[in-house]
Amino acid sequence: MNAVPKPRVIVIGSGLGGFLSAAKLVQSGYEVEVFERLPIIGGRFTNTKYRGFSLSTGALHMIPHGPAGPLAQMLKSLGVDVNIVRSDPMALIRLPAKKGDTDYTNGYKDILFRDFSKPLSATNKLKITVLTIVTKIFPPKKGSLEEWFTRYIKDEWLVKLADSFCGWSLSLKGADIYTKEAFMIFSNLYRYSGPGIPIGGCKAIIDALADIITLNGGIIHTGEDVSGILVKDGRAVGVTVNGSKYTCDIVISNIGHIETNRLCMNIKTSGEYLQYLEQLKKIKPSAGVKICLAADEPLIGHGGVLLTPYAKRINGINEVTNIDPNLAPPGKHLAVSHQCVQWNKLNELEHEIDLGLQDIEDIFAGKKYEILLIQSHSGEWPVNRSASGFDVNVKNATPVKNLFIVGDGAKGEGGIEVEGIALGVANTMKMIL
Amino acid sequence: MDCVGCGQCVIVCETDAIKVKGRAVITGDCIECGVCARYCPVKAIEVSV
């Protein structure tokens, strides 16, 4: 009896989307080979040690919906043994100490995220209660989140809070996120609740996925750059790496639609393909800055997010060592801020960082800390390769048969950061399996 | 490609020869070992070794 050969899959990129796909397929009986250009696995979702601190290469060490969200569910289904500890409180909001102050220079007070409506007038509190119920039945479909708030509530506080929340979770301003997407995210917050910290940071998840891939016969190459995707009769049939051809039945790319398309060879121009190229022109990667802080004492004192809507640039801060002390040297704490950088500010990045550093001084006035590292992300190494899943009408499939896109360039709808990556991988697996 | 300032080169540099603030700057302490170039995700560093 002849053995049926296993379908062969090549995965380009060892980031979270690539590894989730590889692990799922290798467990489903596919022959899987992953090619990673860098010497390390994980892309922007792993840790690198710097002066004893486990700094992430891109993502924050935080899973937006903790142990109940789409990523955690997918990891569980794959048998990944990683402990994701729920942040409690999930988030605090830092307000100026005195009503009427526009920054934190005269002190601050923190309120729970669920009490976000406290600063609103009685009328606007009533409006938000009614709108919360109405939008569950009739979710808004058009315009940006900022436009929606401005149209229905007209309160500067909500615009500030939207900027802080969207800046932290998506590296976008409230004016740059579609209201439909924002409400899907709010709905998921109710459904899955708030964030959690993976013990061991992002690297614990990546290493566990790498183990699943290799223990099931998959191969992971590092330092191997895919220079082309072979296309024959409209179908992906392999890749080229260092001049050698590797044939396969399916190619999954974790490097976004634009880069993947650039690698494709011999695509015959068709109406569908031309439409696809038009969509690619609309894709905009999101940009942001992370400032990593080291301290002897806790700076925020909990494992949730500290949203800072009254800061000039910083959208929020977390301090993961309150949940996993091993992400810093003994007795030390690691806090990381994030600030969205708008596209029109990318040419003034150093000034944007200076404003972020001023914010840190205001937010932690009187506290001792050290700036460990300032990490910025944009362009080819962005916060997200596609700022929003609603920007373009391309998802995980491409006009090339058996060529799929996963990762932050093709997130599932309504998923914050890595949750969106997990949803995108789930969509892709539905098409393949 | 242009440096994006991700800091990966700073982390892997064994001689602490790189500073970053929006963009990496290689200082005179560089020994041209080439490790930073291998780790740079946007291929912004070229080292002649």
pLDDT band at A389 (very low <50, low <70, confident <90, very high): low
Mean pLDDT, all residues of chain A: 95
Helical (H) or strand (E) element with A356? helix A349-363
Mean pLDDT across the stretch A292-315? 98
DSSP 8-state code for residue A288: E
Contact between A264 and A231 (Cβ < 8 Å): yes
pTM over the 0.95 mark: yes
Give how far B30 is from chain A: nearest CA, Å. 18
Mean pLDDT of A405-416: 93
Chain B CB within 8 Å of residue A347 CB: no
Provide the phi-psi class of A371: left if phi over 0, else alpha when psi is between -120 and 50, else beta: beta
Calculate mean pLDDT across residues A296-322.
98
- Distance between CA A275 and CA A53 in Å, rounded? 46
Q: What confidence score (pLDDT) does residue A74 get? A: 98
pLDDT, residue A306, reads 98
This model of the complex carries an ipTM of 0.97
pLDDT for residue A267 is more than 80: yes
Question: ω before A139 within 30° of 0 (cis)?
Answer: no
Residue A5 pLDDT class (50, 70, 90 cuts) = confident
* Side chain identity at residue A42, one-letter code: G
Q: B22 contacts in A (CB within 8 Å)?
A: 289, 349-350, 352-353, 374, 376
Residue A4: the pLDDT is: 78
Does the beta-carbon distance from A381 to B11 stay under 8 Å? no
Structural domain harbouring B14: 1-49
Cα distance between residue A312 and residue A289, in whole Å:
13
Q: Is A48 on the interface with B (CB under 8 A)?
A: yes
| Contact yes or no for A400/A260 (Cβ under 8 A) | no
pLDDT for residue B48: 67
CATH number of A8-82+201-283+389-432: 3.50.50.60
Angle between helices A179-192 and A145-152 (to 10 degrees): 90
A350 part of contact set with chain B, CB < 8 Å = yes
**A238-256 pLDDT tens trace:** 999 999 999 999 999 999 9
> Tell me, what amino acid is at A244?
S
Instruction: Convert the pLDDT of each residue in A15-63 to its tens digit.
Output: 999 999 999 999 999 999 999 999 999 999 999 999 999 999 999 999 9
Q: Looking at chain A, which residue has its C-alpha nearest residue B13? A: A50
> Is the model's pLDDT at A332 over the cut of 80?
yes
pLDDT band at A2 (very low <50, low <70, confident <90, very high): low
CA dihedral angle for residue A310, residue A315, residue A363, residue A354, rounded to 10 degrees? -100
Contact yes or no for A128/A140 (Cβ under 8 A): no
Give the residue among A313, A19, A41 at the shortest CA–CA distance from A167. A313
Average pLDDT for A146-174: 93
For residue range A179-230, list pLDDT tens digits in order. 988 999 999 999 999 999 999 999 999 999 999 999 999 999 999 999 999 9
Better pLDDT: A11 or A186: A11
Count of domains for chain B: 1
Axis-axis angle for helices A417-432, A70-78 (nearest 10): 50
**CB proximity list for A132: less than 8 A, separation 6 or greater:** none
Q: Check whether A336 has a pLDDT greater than 70.
A: yes
* Interface residue A261 vs chain B (CB under 8 A): no
Task: Tell whether the model's pLDDT for residue A132 goes beyond 90.
Answer: no
The per-residue pLDDT for A137 is 87
CATH of residue B40: 3.30.70.20
Instruction: Say what the pLDDT of residue B46 is.
Output: 84
